[in-house]
Amino acid sequence: MAMQAENGAAGPALDPLTAASVTLCWVIALNKPFYPLYVWYLTGEGVLVSTLTMVAGLGFAGLALAARQLPLATRFGLPFLGICDTVLAGKIFGQAAGTELFLAPCVMLAALSFESREVWWQRGLAAFSFLAFVLFHGRSGQPLYGWSEAHLQSLFSLNAFSVACLMSFVAFRYAGIKKG
């Protein structure tokens, strides 16, 4: 029989770390459709190829929806999917657009999303993030679209700003959460 959660939804209440991960999943999923609009605003082109970045939004939404049944999978999946999404964005936009900066919040999420007894999940995700950087930094080949230098600078600024916003939001959301 399902328990009534604090917010009135059926199912067990989420632990604080999973609840924080769900918040981040929704923030990312709901922001994904806007990224191609930002690209269009900044560059006026490449919008179609930039819509490929929205694919991961479905994954983030799925993680949020599965959180009550699979809390550890949600907490693991958030940084894991973020790493995979970052690698995809690196292929779409190329290294000069600065998309690999998104690996930083992925490592941050790996460090914050787990209980003390789940240290190997943290270490594994941190290692996976570093491995993704080592394997793809400078090796992602040509971007899927031929961005001009000026456009790449604009995209780099957008991505750097987005990473700073995301990392600040993560810090605010996870602040004060006690780990067991």
pLDDT tens-digit readout, 43-71? 998 889 999 999 999 999 999 999 999 99
CA atoms within 13 A on the CB side of 60: 24
pLDDT score of 140 = 76
Of 120 and 6, the one with more pLDDT: 120
- Closest residue by Cα to residue 64 from 120, 124, 10, 22: 22
Confidence of residue 154 (pLDDT cuts 50, 70, 90): very high
**What confidence tier does 11 reach under pLDDT thresholds 50, 70, 90?**
low
